[in-house]
Amino acid sequence: MTFKLYPNLNHMFMPSVYGEILKAKKEYKVAQHVEPQVIGDIADWILSV
């Protein structure tokens, strides 16, 4: 089993803008994309099973 941590990313795998859980609702209003490294890691995992 492998675990990967993505520091400074929120629960949607996007960069944490405010860095505080109390300001999480504000982050939903900031247009962002999923971090490319996460997409690559998920694709690699899918191809490996």
Q: What percent of the chain has a predicted confidence (pLDDT) above 70?
A: 96
Q: Give the pLDDT band of residue 46 (cuts 50, 70, 90).
A: very high
Residue 27 in contact with residue 18, Cβ under 8 Å? yes
Question: Does the pLDDT at position 30 exceed 90?
Answer: no
Domain edges within the chain: 1-49
Work out whether the CA dihedral 34, 40, 46, 49 comes out positive or negative. negative
Distance CA 6, CA 37 (A): 9
Give the pLDDT confidence score for residue 23 in this predicted structure. Answer: 72
| Whether the model pTM is above 0.85 | no
